[in-house]
Chain A
Amino acid sequence: MAEDCDKPEKSAENGGNDRLASTGRRGVLMLGAVAASSVVTIRPALASTAASVLNCKIPIPDPSHGGKYIAQDGKLVAPGTPGAVQPAPRPLTGDEARKMINGMSPPGIDPNARQAYVNYIRRLQHGTSGFTCYASLQMPGR
């Protein structure tokens, strides 16, 4: 413990932002071969069951905002706001949400509302109904 106190705080500061700041010095950036991979996702345990991901539900909007319309950018707005779309007629399953993110419109969902719904799903925050479902969809291979 005493050792920790003796260390200058600088050592912690240096580790963090050098790489992303990239101001000034011009570095070399390799883009890699087409087949190379540059992203690894750390999978939380909640994604361990594929079935739960496909069948979980995302209400649009969240029940606590029932009746609100969804603007094209995914924000919730007052009913009847021009350019906004009506709430989804039923909660979407995780599988349907994934298809919509990939450009498809499930049966019973207005294709013209797809982008607004997708943007709403993207904006889901922790604590909002459907968030865990959306987070699970982010796992590669799902």
Chain B
Amino acid sequence: MRYAADPPAMRLAVALDELVALHHRPSGVTHLLAPPAPELLDALAEGPADPAELLVRLSRLYDLPDAAAEAIAARMEELVLAGLAWRA
């Protein structure tokens, strides 16, 4: 399963300590995101990717102690449900 998201310019993000308040401009809806959701959206800025590829992209920037494609897929499905990403 590959996932895609709108480009970062379509979002307005404000950091709230551990959370990010994210306004999705195309839908006009605001969400509160906990890690790793904002990082996943940022990682999709390079283009659509499957969970394995997202792991690679995140690992370039972060240490991932519990790296698992299944966890990435679960997080992405939440973003799909929220309308912030879609299955490409």
Contact = CB atoms under 8 A, between A and B. Distances in A.
Interface residues of A, number: 39
B15 A27 contact: no
Contact of A42 (B31, B68, B70): B31
Contacts of A31: 36, 64, 66-68, 71-72, 75
A37 B87 CA distance: 19
A41 B64 contact: no
Q: Which of A38, A42, A135, A139 is packed against the most chain B CB atoms within 10 Å?
A: A38
A134 interface: yes
Contacts of B20: 19-20
Interface string A28-65: 11111111111111101000000000000000000000
Interface in B51-79: 58, 61-68, 70-72, 74-75, 78-79
B15 A38 contact: no
A15 interface: yes
B71 A29 contact: no
A95 to B, nearest CB: 15
Interface stretch (A77-85, A106-114, A122-130): A122-130
A131 interface: yes
A137 interface: yes
B71 A122 contact: no
Contacts of B35: 29-30, 32, 38
A135 B62 CA distance: 33
A15 B15 CA distance: 7
A131 B27 CA distance: 7
Given A40-B32, A41-B29, A138-B29, A35 B74 contact: yes
A139 B64 CA distance: 30
Contacts of A36: 74
B47 interface: no
A16 B86 contact: no
9 contacts: A17-B15, A18-B15, A19-B15, A22-B39, A28-B63, A29-B61, A31-B67, A39-B84, A41-B30
